[in-house]
Amino acid sequence: MKKLSFLAALTGLVFCGAASAADITVYYSPTCPHCHNARGFISNTLIYEYPELKVTEVNATDIANADMFQNALKKCEYESGGVPVLVIGEKCFQGYAEFMNDDLRNAIEADMSDDAKAVAAENKKAMESDADAFKAAHSDRTSAISEYSASADDSDATAQKKNSEPSVAWFYGLLAALVVALGIVLMRGNKKK
């Protein structure tokens, strides 16, 4: 019984450590300078700081993407159709300016484990030290960004929609907490006998 409760607690800790960065969906217009700046910050900084981060870009001016953009505005409770709109996990941001960078990072880190946050902090320091060298060493991170288009063929659109689904880290966190609680209950039950 002790082995079972130990395994349950260990499994819970493993799942807790699996919480990942919240993904980002960026609704933008190709002619919007704030969108350009937001996308630049994400593609030149955030994808390198957060190795698990996935970014889906959605051209809000493409008529095929209108429903998706309207749904995002409704979810975020924005009455204005201004862009950029950044959806990070359950948080929404409309517009972009550099003073928002730490708020964006905080939204990304909302469900991250302490270990993942430590990696992000190390990556941020490395980027501040020598961004070009760090980017060259991690050039594979550019694949973290995908463009969504509702007008793409069905198989391609299905694959791209999967990248824009909300993070399920909260589910794994809850599952981990339940497993840890079960382990603790089982361990206490063994001590009473």
Query: CB neighbours of 3 closer than 8 A, spacing ≥ 6?
Result: none
Judgement on whether residues 14 and 25 belong to the same structural domain of the protein? no
Judgement on whether residues 53 and 133 belong to the same structural domain of the protein? yes
Among 16, 50, 46, which residue's Cα sits nearest to residue 170?
16
Judgement on whether residues 93 and 1 belong to the same structural domain of the protein? no
Q: Please give the average per-residue pLDDT across 159-167, as a whole number.
A: 47
Judgement on whether residues 54 and 100 belong to the same structural domain of the protein? yes
Judged against a pLDDT cut of 90, whether residue 110 lies above it is answered with yes
Q: What burial class does residue 2 get, using C-beta atoms within 10 Å of its C-beta: 0-12 exposed, 13-18 middle, 19+ buried?
A: exposed
Judgement on whether residues 134 and 187 belong to the same structural domain of the protein? no
Separation of alpha carbons 76 and 30, rounded Å:
22
Judged against a pLDDT cut of 90, whether residue 7 lies above it is answered with no
Judgement on whether residues 180 and 113 belong to the same structural domain of the protein? no
More confident residue, 21 or 88: 88
Judgement on whether residues 57 and 7 belong to the same structural domain of the protein? no
Judgement on whether residues 162 and 177 belong to the same structural domain of the protein? no
* Buried b or exposed e, range 44-75, using 16+ CB within 10 angstroms: ebbbbbbbbbbbbbbbbebeebeebbeebbee
Overall number of domains in the chain: 2
More confident residue, 92 or 192: 92
Judgement on whether residues 6 and 55 belong to the same structural domain of the protein? no
Domain that residue 145 falls in: 21-166
Task: List the Cα angle 33/34/37 in 5-degree steps.
Answer: 90
Judged against a pLDDT cut of 60, whether residue 37 lies above it is answered with yes
Judgement on whether residues 193 and 150 belong to the same structural domain of the protein? no
